[in-house]
Copies of this chain bind each other. A is one copy, B any other.
Amino acid sequence: MYEMSKKGFGITAVVTADGALAGVISDGDLRRLLQKDKDIVSKTAGDGLKPDPVTIAAGELASAALQVMEQRKITSLFSVDGSNRLEGIIHLHDLWGLELF
């Protein structure tokens, strides 16, 4: 929760000890976890993570990122390198205002 609040995206990546992307936790995941068990504060990031998040390679065009968001009806995408190591996040709000097409 601290990470989610600090970054302000409403979603955070969960990585393994070697930096590989294990999954993501969104504000919605947190809500669903809380509905199942109100003692959410004792839960670990692993308890709430959604595996296999949608990712994009950092070299892809911003317009491709927007198309993926539209198709999957999501607003954030994580970028990973060839070894599934987390590189960063791109949020729809970063794309708005760019002249993509």
- Chain B residues whose C-beta falls within 8 Å of the C-beta of A5 in the assembled complex: 31-32, 35
Contact of A75 among B41, B70, B92 (CB under 8 A): B92
- Chain B residues whose C-beta falls within 8 Å of the C-beta of A27 in the assembled complex: 10, 26-28, 30-31
**Chain A: interface residue total (CB-CB under 8 A):** 23
Q: Decide if the interface of chain A is mainly helix, strand, loop or mixed.
A: helix
Q: How far is the CB of A47 from chain B (nearest CB, A)?
A: 15
Q: How far is the CB of A4 from chain B (nearest CB, A)?
A: 6
Closest residue of B by beta carbon distance from A8? B28
What are 6 residue pairs bridging A and B, where the CB atoms are less than 8 Å apart in the complex?
A5-B31, A5-B32, A27-B28, A38-B40, A70-B97, A75-B75
